[in-house]
Amino acid sequence: MKNDNFKFLILVFALIASGCNTKKQKANDSNSPITENNYLGQKPPGSTAEVFAPGVVNTKENREVEGMSGADMNTFYFIKRPVGEESKHNVLVSFEYKNKEWNESVVFKGESEPSISPDGKTIYFSKNYIERTSEGWSELKSLAPPFNDIEIMRLSASSSSTYYFDTFTPDLDAPIRYSRFIDDKYEQPKSLGHQFEIGKYNAHPFIAPDESYIIWDSIREDGFGESDLYISFREVNGSWGPAINMGDRINTNNKENYPSVSSDGRYLFFDRRAAENSDNVDIYWVDAKIIETLRTKL
């Protein structure tokens, strides 16, 4: 009888342990809510770039690109579509932290090249945008002149509502430009300077909210292979400093593009894709201290 009782107790403890392990597996499953309230519960990266949220944001089934954080740090946005599908199937999705859980939802379909305003109230798609309302996000709207006739790929807005943007041309030779909001309208775009015209494919800018630096991707002779991330800092006189390659902790012989710094300034997000396969792409992140490190080297 004592042996039977002992066996019974062992069986009970085994079942309890099995149940605990099952709960842990479910909590870590990519289809289950993530219950940490910072960066989807991910371990922060160091000075070398790492894939962001593998199995949660970056998956094998979908092509995920163009990640960015919301203004309140309770939302992470990115574009995804099933591997092998065309760009018309792009979906902007978000992971939002609410009621102590991160949950995924669809924000907008059919657009790409997103960037979010510093206040989190506007999301730009090239020369279109949506606005946050009391009932959710608005319908798609178009920017007014002079932007409606420009082939913008990505537009980034500062806290002062100045727009920084690239332009697609067949030769990929257009500089990054900016336009300020003056007298209730946007001025004609101007080039940021010669350092934003070197090489080709000067594209996908991210402007710091205070306009103290700008990060973009470009293909240049001093690069590591394909497109690399570059940074320029604003000088005391208001002009822009030299274009600085962000180094081998970020750039590789693959394509690095679509930079975005989290709204708390702590991490830099960007895409890395294999040159031979546009579907082979992941969203990476790295400690944004690299920005201040590069600034002090000037």
What pLDDT shows up at residue 56? 94
Q: Which residue in 206, 194, 219, 191 sits closest to 265, CA to CA?
A: 206
CA atoms within 13 A on the CB side of 111: 22
What pTM was estimated for this model as a whole?
Answer: 0.87
pLDDT per residue as tens digits for the range 44-71: 999 999 999 999 999 999 999 999 999 9
- The sign of the dihedral angle between the CA atoms of 138, 62, 283, 127 is negative
pLDDT(6) > 90: no
pLDDT per residue as tens digits for the range 143-193: 999 998 999 999 999 999 999 999 999 988 899 999 999 999 999 999 999
Within 8 A by CB and 6+ apart from 210, the residues are 158, 159
Q: The tokens of 293 are what?
A: 């490190």
pLDDT per residue as tens digits for the range 217-232: 999 999 998 899 999 9
Confidence tier at 279 by pLDDT (50, 70, 90): confident
| DSSP H/E element including 215 | strand 213-219
pLDDT per residue as tens digits for the range 102-148: 999 999 999 999 999 999 999 999 999 999 999 999 999 999 999 98
pLDDT per residue as tens digits for the range 281-294: 999 999 999 999 99
Is the Cβ–Cβ distance between 271 and 251 less than 8 Å? no
Confidence tier at 298 by pLDDT (50, 70, 90): confident
| Alpha-carbon distances of 145 from 127, 149, 236, rounded to whole Å | 10, 7, 31
What pLDDT shows up at residue 2? 43
